[in-house]
Amino acid sequence: SSELTQDPAVSVALGQTVRITCQGDILRSYYASWYQQKPGQAPVLVIYGQNDRPSGIPDRFSGSSSRNTASLTIAGAQAEDEADYYCNSRDSSGNHLLFGGGTKVTVL
């Protein structure tokens, strides 16, 4: 099925590392992209492709993938990284996109 599943919430201590996962069978065929969304703002692309960062995204953000799971890792989380994070990829048709339900990251 074309679904992407994310944990609803995760917390991380300031300066520590957190991994957010996105599961779905479609990820065996397509890469996931990752977005950061802060309250009242539009989403921002932070990772795309195998592990690429758009210009301006800190290198503490990285992506990886294994079988049906894509992961976003924030190494040395900062207070400003507190946000909702969404994964997305294509669906089984290849023509449509779909999003995971989002993960709320709290930096303690």
Partner 1 sequence: QVQLVQSGAEVKKPGASVKLSCKASGYTFSNSYIHWVRQAPGQGLEWMGVINPSDGSTTHTQKFQGRVAMANNTSTSTVYMELSSLRSEDTAIYYCARGYYEGLDFWGPGTLVTVSS
Contacting residues toward partner 1, per CB under 8 A: 30-33, 35, 37, 42-45, 48-49, 54, 86, 88-90, 95-102
- When the beta carbons of 18 and 63 are compared against partner 1, the nearer one is 63
Minimum CB separation from partner 1 for residue 80, in Å? 19
Minimum CB separation from partner 1 for residue 15, in Å? 28
Minimum CB separation from partner 1 for residue 14, in Å? 26
Burial classification of residue 55, based on how many CB atoms lie within 10 Å of its CB (0-12 exposed, 13-18 middle, 19 or more buried): exposed
- When the beta carbons of 31 and 73 are compared against partner 1, the nearer one is 31
56-91 core/surface letters (b: 16 or more CB in 10 A; e: else): ebeeebbbebeeeebbbbbeebeeebbbbbbbbbbb
Break the chain down into helix, strand, coil percent, rounded to 5: 5, 45, 45
- When the beta carbons of 76 and 101 are compared against partner 1, the nearer one is 101
